[in-house]
Structure 1
């Protein structure tokens, strides 16, 4: 297969004239014929300094006639769209035109989507103007598309490494993993059509409270599905009042980055409490509310939230509320949904045909036997024998935290000013060590995970450095910050993130006794998971064991390519090591 052809032009009238000269009648070589007579993809960008960094406004497109399309952008689009006027007025605007002898309409649409996926994840891209998605299924020759894209991106990287950073760097970013431009699976596409149909019907009515419930285990593709639908609706012609809510600080950062790049709107992404307080005060109804990680919604009042149940409040404010819910990721008692209430919610969604369960597991690149072993550990609290070594997924148990740290750092191979060779790998742990957002421990030191003579800072204790690498963002989530390789994170810092290799410290609250994993709440430090919850019938009940099991679920399912475990409890560590018989 021949290589892609890339030509660079000035994005202005002179550049258009140069294009016109190339497309005029006369002799053309093969490269010019492919660029100017075949379908092409193209990138238009300006180039300016924003404080100390390069910042770009970018448009990605595809066309069957590059000259005609460029002429339309320069002469017609500026009359109706401010973004095109900004690109035209930019002093150093450029256009990259990409061609290949195998390009057809379906492939260029596919590559356009891939370009938007990667460019929407580049920190130096301030705004991405083309926000449409045109997902292609099968076409000839679809099997070549990824190789052609890789070749195209690598060539663009050589031309401008700030605008087109290394692909591996982008693939490891949280903003990439939550991008709306990922190609959806058949299961996700079916769910998307179902949700869009529900929204369309609900918008015809003046009623609030239509519930859509999307469930599925960690790694089922729930976030990508939600991001994709939200992006389509927010850029639709209906001009909807629409918001995306998430009650998790690290995920809020990710969605805010996406929102800025794609022009979702200043207040499109909010925390639930902020949204509820503002809209109830103004008695302002909206069309659609999306809630990622809805299992983190509060189901009782707090100082900042005077209501009784955030989901009930949201249903009263929006025509449609679309929630991503996984009861196995609830982490503290303020988020507990009573079993009867949960059954009623599911029933409400099912009766209207709006209960969607995603079955595919897309995070852990592991064999079925490995995933079943991990699920037995979490769900059944049993340690089964795993006799077959997984060639795709690296599962190991270590004798000390020193060994765990050493091996996670090997996988991380971090160079702050360069790149991640194996992506992001981090140490994370059960919440068995004291931590407060402010202050220090009794010794005046940062909060630490201490096991014998081994210790590490615990949860956001290390001061962040500014990056020399201009393609890395300053405001990254905990897992993406290079310094956090020297920390141990908890569920509160890592929930919602992917790690290539997860180094999990199972603390002293998780033990192995009488052939089963048990939870010792006396050794657990997360007070929010320990206190009793007053139920609707007035009785008090402890959910500590359930919440501690959920915590283990969140931690053990973070790793994409591998899971490394150190268990503080001697009996648990021994039985885990014995279980890996390969």
Structure 2
């Protein structure tokens, strides 16, 4: 027993709901008094159901549950309950603890389709309070271990739960003041909004939380959430797991095809909405009717919604993406208000005695890729630290297989993390061709005796069985967070004799990313390639390693970052 809390566990008699101490434990008078009048957190568990609650009078609250019309507390849906009370469980902490446990348990049961978390909501809003960190370390963490030992949860390690997509993108996670202010303004003042922010500023987390808050505030309104194909199943899973109602998840194409009217349309990765573009085999072509002025933004606008777009112009990666000038015209004509996310949260630099921040990394990547020509200042040490520190956030390696070795090493220390290798699109997707899909001897990437396939699928690739031993393209990972990332900067990008970064079109193999012959722009193509690497290099939360296939590009990187090395 921890000296910061006490737990009591009871079995529940079917038919009556009567509580009996498990294992014949004798309840002291003080136990009975505490369970009748103390603040408490409780969790009911059955073969297919779990419920998290809070109360000031557990015994009385249990009797109320027994009288509920759903009969779960007497029909065998719940067979036992654990109750916790103590000095850290008080009026200030109850909402926070309940909210966290609902989120953790929902994420814990992510892969158990037979288990239902019966909480209709995520719990009450919880402001910050004194001793909040102590509640996490001295109650929630040890309580979770007890829950595991007694069969209430599946994962022993709470850190593993926190790597789940259901946790990372929970629509009820605690948000920063900046994010909460954006959500509150959109709810209070319905109109068209564009929420802009760089990679890692939390656009998708704001979207899931906004959708949930809109659902709660306006239960009779219809809400559509638009995501890229690689995120449809994940988004559906998130909203279903947390019992968020009146929300439908689509790709832009499928929502337009449906013709359904919605009160709110929230668009994630809105920079990837498409226009009519005759080059490439796009499934969207039929909705445009060969109208060169048509695009998905305009067609979604015809559904007459309150429109909320989540946008980063540095993440457009194909000629078929709507050009920025067309975007700006639409935003002006439809009176969009811009709200900016400025805080960068994705990058977690866990190094001793560091002098740099995540902002230094993001700025350095943009300056290196010549995406931002403002010559912004940043601390170059973040890109040099790996030369003396094997635990540095960033580093350069000498081969593709070393990227996989890096991820293996990270997983030895942190087994629960999500880690992948990604690359620029410089290899044909031969393994995906129909004639090769069932063959084990067709590979897209070869390095000596090593070989790998491209991502087997772009949809929900991170969750695919073999994704850890594959190499992901931009289309499999855009909008996805990883813990540790390996990035192959390939031969579709180089540096010219004037020191300008350029795209190399002959080495770029994305068939749907090609320009029409009469529309080709060297600068435009180079911008797309730079944006692709900006996305790939900003996926890793806890660490990134890079391998350069183009040695001129590698030397340019060394020189730019002040690394005194010659590429061999």
Q: What is the TM-score when the length of structure 2 is the normalising length?
A: 0.83
Distance (Å, rounded) in 2 between the aligned partners of 1:404 and 1:146: 35
**CA offsets per residue over residues 56-78 of structure 1, 9 Å max, x none?**
333222112212222222213x2
User: 1-side partners of 2:531 and 2:101: how far apart?
Assistant: 37
Q: Per-residue displacement from partner, 1:409-462 (whole Å, max 9, x unpaired)?
A: 211339xxxxx5261221110111111643257997434123455421111179
Q: Which residue of 1 aligns with 2:514?
A: 530
State the partner residue of 1:203: none
TM-aligned CA distance change 1:8 to 1:14, over 3 Å? farther
Q: Which moved more, 1:160-169 or 1:484-493?
A: 160-169
Q: What does residue 289 of structure 1 align with?
A: 265
Q: Separation in 1 of the partners of 2:478 and 2:342?
A: 20
Q: 1:243 aligns with which of 202, 221, 224?
A: 224
CA deviations on 1:77-130 (whole Å, 9 max, x unpaired) are: x2xxxxx44564335533222222222222010011111221221222434423
Q: Which of residues 145, 149, 154 in structure 1 aligns to 2:135?
A: 145
Establish whether residue 10 from structure 1 lines up as the match of residue 11 from structure 2.
Answer: yes
Distance 1:216-1:380 versus aligned 2 partners, 3 A rule: closer
Task: Report whether the alignment pairs 1:519 with 2:495.
Answer: no
Contact 1:296 1:330 in 2 (8 A): yes
For 1:89, what is the secondary structure of its paired residue?
Answer: coil
Question: Structure 1: how far apart are the matches of 2:491 and 2:216?
Answer: 49
Indicate whether 1:355 and 2:349 are aligned: no
CA contact (8 A) 1:9 1:94 kept: yes
1:547 aligns with 2:512: no
1:435 corresponds, among 429, 439, 443, to 429
Aligned equivalent of 1:401: 400
Deviates more, 1:103-112 or 1:89-98: 89-98
The residue number in structure 2 matching 1:211 is 192
- Report how far residue 567 of structure 1 moved: 0.5
Write the mapping of 1:394-473 to structure 2, written as runs, cut at 5 A: 394-413=393-412, 421=415, 423-435=417-429, 437-439=432-434, 445-451=441-447, 454-460=450-456
Q: Is the 8 A contact 2:16 2:74 kept in 1?
A: no
Contact 2:360 2:379 in 1 (8 A): no
Deviation at 1:179, TM superposition (A): 0.8
Contact between 1:119 and 1:164, CA under 8 Å: does it hold in 2? no
Q: Which residue is 1:256 aligned to? A: 236
Q: 2:103 aligns with which of 98, 113, 117?
A: 117
Report the Cα distance in structure 2 between the residues aligned to 1:261 and 1:174, rounded to whole angstroms: 11
Query: Partner of 1:181: helix, strand, or coil?
Result: coil
CA contact (8 A) 2:195 2:341 kept: yes
Deviations 1:372-413 (A, max 9, x none): 322322324899982353888521101222322222221133
Aligned equivalents of 1:580, 1:564: Cα separation in 2: 18
Aligned partners of 1:295 and 1:330 also within 8 Å: yes
Give the distance between the partners of 1:220 and 1:364, measured in 2 at CA.
Answer: 10
Cα distance change of structure 1 residues 35 and 554 upon mapping to structure 2, 3 Å threshold = farther
Contact 2:495-2:552 within 8 A present in 1 as well: yes
**Residue 504 of structure 2 is aligned to residue 503 of structure 1:** no
* In 1: Cα distance, 2:64 partner to 2:55 partner: 11
- Give 1:340's aligned residue: 325
**Range with bigger deviation, 100-109 or 434-443:** 434-443
Can you list the C-alpha shifts for 1:197-221, whole angstroms capped at 9, x where unaligned?
A: 123xxxxxxxxxx422111111111
Partners of 2:557 and 2:49 in 1: how far apart? 51
Q: Are residue 74 (structure 1) and residue 58 (structure 2) matched? A: no
Aligned counterpart, 2:86? 100
After superposition, where does 1:254-403 map in structure 2 within 5 Å?
A: 254-264=234-244, 268-279=248-259, 284-300=260-276, 302-304=282-284, 305-307=286-288, 308-335=294-321, 337-347=322-332, 351=335, 354-366=337-349, 367=357, 368-378=359-369, 379-380=371-372, 386-387=380-381, 389=385, 393-403=392-402
Which moves more between the two structures, 312-321 or 437-446? 437-446
Structure number with greater CO (CA < 8 Å, separation at least 6) is 1
Structure 1 residues 422 and 247: CA distance shift in structure 2, 3 A? closer
**Matched position secondary structure for 1:131:** coil
Tell me if 1:131 matches 2:121: yes
TM-fit CA distance, 1:233: 2.4
User: How many Å separate the matches in 1 of 2:496 and 2:395?
Assistant: 21
Structure 2 CA distance for aligned equivalents of residues 532 and 430 of structure 1? 21
- For normalisation by structure 1, the TM-score amounts to 0.81
CA apart distance, 1:295:
1.8
Aligned with residue 168 of structure 2, among 156, 177, 183 = 177
Change (3 A) 1:576 1:338: closer
For residues 305-352 of structure 1, the C-alpha deviation after alignment (integer angstroms, 9 at most, x for no partner) is: 4133222222221431212111222222222x2332222344457x56
In 2, the alpha carbon distance for the partners of 1:224 and 1:461 equals 24
Query: Which residue pairs with 1:202 in the alignment?
Result: none
Distance 1:580 1:88, change over 3 A: farther
| Structure 1: gaps (5+ residues) | 48-55, 79-83, 200-209, 415-419, 463-475
Equivalent pair of 1:3/1:151 in contact (CA under 8 Å): no
Moved more, 558-567 or 435-444: 435-444
Cα pair 2:313 2:324 within 8 Å, conserved: no
Question: Does the CA-based 8 Å contact 1:211-1:321 persist in structure 2?
Answer: yes
* Residue range with higher mean Cα deviation, 287-296 or 365-374: 365-374
Q: 1:107 to 1:385 in 2, by over 3 A?
A: closer
Alpha-carbon separation, structure 1, partners of 2:228 and 2:178: 26
How far apart are 1:244 and its partner, in Å? 1.4
Q: Distance in 1 between matches of 2:73 and 2:301?
A: 41
Kindly tell me: are residues 243 and 59 of structure 1, through their superposed partners in 2, closer, same or farther at Cα, counting changes over 3 Å? farther
How many corresponding residue pairs? 522
Q: Are residues 565 and 94 of structure 1, via their aligned partners in 2, closer, same or farther at CA, if it must alter by over 3 Å? A: same
Rounded to whole Å, the distance in 2 between the matches of 1:58 and 1:560 is: 32
